[in-house]
Amino acid sequence: MACSSFFPSSHFFNPLSSSSYCSPPPPVSATRFRSLPSKQLNTLFTTAPPLHRSFSALPLFSEHHGGGYNNNNNNNNNNNGGGGWGYPFDSDDSFSPSSHTLFFSLLLSSAFCSFSQLVLAKFAKAKTLASEKEAFSESLWEVKGGKWTKLIPDNFNDSFVTSEPGLFSELSSINSTQVVTFLWFKCRDLFLRLMLPEGFPKSVTSDYLEYSLWRAVQGVASQVSGVLATQSLLYAVGLGKGAIPTAAAINWVLKDGIGYLSKIMLSNFGRHFDVNPKGWRLFADLLENAAFGLEMCTPAFPHFFVLIGAVAGASRSAAALIQASTRSCFFAGFAAQRNFAEVIAKGEVQGMASKFIGIGIGIGLGNCIGSSTPLVLASFGVVTWIHMYCNLKSYQSIQLRTLNPYRASLVFSEYLLSGQAPPVKEVNDEEPLFPAVPILNATFANKAKSNALSSEAKDAAAEIERRLELGSKLSEIVSSKDDALALFTLYKDEGYILSEHMGKFCVVLKESCLPLDMLKALFQVNYVYWLEKNAGIVGRGVVNDSKPGGKLHMSLDYVTREFDLVRSDGESVGWTTDGLIARPLPNRIRPGNMAPSASS
Last residue of a domain, one of 357, 375, 397: 397
**Residue that finishes a domain, picked among 377, 397, 417:** 397
Q: Is residue 68 in a domain?
A: yes
Tell me, yes or no, whether 218 lies in a domain.
yes
Name which of 201, 222, 217 is nearest 323 in CA terms: 222
214 and 90 both lie in a single domain: no
Q: Determine the Cα–Cα distance for residues 466 and 408; give it in Å rounded to an integer.
A: 14
Type of residue found at 362: G
In our burial notation (b when 16+ CB lie closer than 10 A, e otherwise), range 264-278 reads: eebeeeeeebbbbbb
Within a domain: residue 106? no
Whether residue 104 lies inside any domain: the answer is no
Residue 380 belongs to domain with CATH number? 1.20.1250.20
User: Based on the domain organization, do 189 and 215 belong to the same domain?
Assistant: no
Q: Do 173 and 233 fall within a single domain? A: no
In a domain, 124, yes or no: no
Structural domain that includes position 191: 140-195
Cα(546)–Cα(410) distance, integer angstroms: 26
Question: How is residue 320 annotated by DSSP?
Answer: H
In a domain, 246, yes or no: yes
Clarify whether residues 213 and 353 are in a common domain: yes
Clarify whether residues 213 and 242 are in a common domain. yes
Are residues 184 and 233 both part of a single domain? no
Q: Give a yes or no: residue 436 inside a domain.
A: no
Q: Give yes or no: residues 473 and 544 share one domain.
A: yes
Same domain assignment for residues 226 and 331? yes
Helix H or strand E encompassing 222:
helix 208-237
Considering the domain architecture, whether residues 232 and 306 belong to the same structural domain is answered as yes
Residue 130 belongs to a domain? no
Sign of the alpha-carbon dihedral angle for 163, 168, 169, 174? positive
190 and 263 assigned to the same domain: no
Contact assessment for residue 60 and residue 30, using Cβ atoms and an 8 Å cutoff? no
User: Could you say which DSSP state residue 501 is in?
Assistant: E
- Total domains, the chain: 4
Q: Coil, strand, or helix at residue 58?
A: coil
In tens digits, the chain (600 residues) has pLDDT values of 444 444 444 444 444 444 444 444 444 444 444 444 444 444 444 444 444 444 444 443 444 444 444 444 444 444 444 444 444 444 444 444 554 454 445 445 544 544 444 444 444 444 444 444 444 445 676 666 556 676 777 666 666 666 555 555 555 556 666 677 777 777 877 877 888 888 787 888 888 889 989 989 998 998 899 888 888 877 776 655 555 456 556 666 666 666 677 777 777 777 788 899 999 999 999 999 999 999 888 888 888 887 888 888 888 888 988 998 898 889 888 988 888 888 989 999 999 999 999 999 988 888 888 778 788 889 999 999 999 999 999 999 999 999 999 999 999 999 999 999 999 999 999 988 877 666 666 555 555 556 778 999 999 999 999 999 999 999 999 989 999 999 999 999 999 999 999 989 999 999 999 999 999 999 999 999 999 999 888 888 899 999 998 999 999 999 999 999 999 999 999 999 999 999 999 999 988 765 444 433
51 with 165, same domain: the answer is no
**For the chain, how are helix, strand and coil distributed in percent, rounded to 5?**
60, 5, 30
503 to 173, 506, 526: CA distances (angstroms): 78, 9, 14
Distance in angstroms (rounded) separating the CA atoms of residues 476 and 375: 58
CB neighbour class for 523 (10 Å; exposed up to 12, middle 13-18, buried from 19): buried
Question: How many helices (H) and strands (E) would you count in the chain?
Answer: 23, 6
Indicate the residue among 95, 124, 156 that finishes a domain. Answer: 95
Nearest to 412 by CA among 470, 456, 448: 456
| C-beta separation of 453 from 410 below 8 A | yes
Same domain, 170 and 230: no
CA atoms within 13 A on the CB side of 158: 0
pTM score of the predicted model: 0.65
450 sits in the region (left: phi over 0; alpha: psi -120 to 50; else beta) called beta
